[in-house]
Amino acid sequence: MTIHLYGIPNCDTVKKARDWLETQGHPYVFHDYKKEGADPARIAGWIAAAGLDLVVNRKGTTYRALSDDDKTRAAGAESAPALLAANPSVIKRPIVEHDGGLLVGFKPDEWVAALG
């Protein structure tokens, strides 16, 4: 199974997810938004698969610091991918692509069901 984990390395939730994957013996490829950026087309795919409300992290300080215009852009499925690519801290973390689908956020029970 190929697992791609997307996130920011200093995020506590991403650290927990990476530790979990390693403890469970699941090899993965880590994509660091800060070093490698975020692809708007991939983000659009995540939004199509999981929904805008799940992909956009509205609880974080980066989202709260956005202008009202940018918050409006973040609320639209057409405009959100470009905004999130420019502001990857507004993407819910982590996002995991695996052979069976997509996981958004770290919930161990969901991860066990999806990844074994």
Q: Which of 3, 8, 11, 52 does the annotation list as catalytic?
A: 11
Instruction: Please answer whether residues 115 and 109 qualify as being in contact, where contact means their C-beta atoms are separated by less than 8 angstroms.
Output: no
Instruction: Please answer whether residues 63 and 74 qualify as being in contact, where contact means their C-beta atoms are separated by less than 8 angstroms.
Output: yes
Annotation says 54 is catalytic: no
d(CA 78, CA 94): 22
Query: Which residues make beta-bridge pairs with 91?
Result: 56
Active site residues: 11
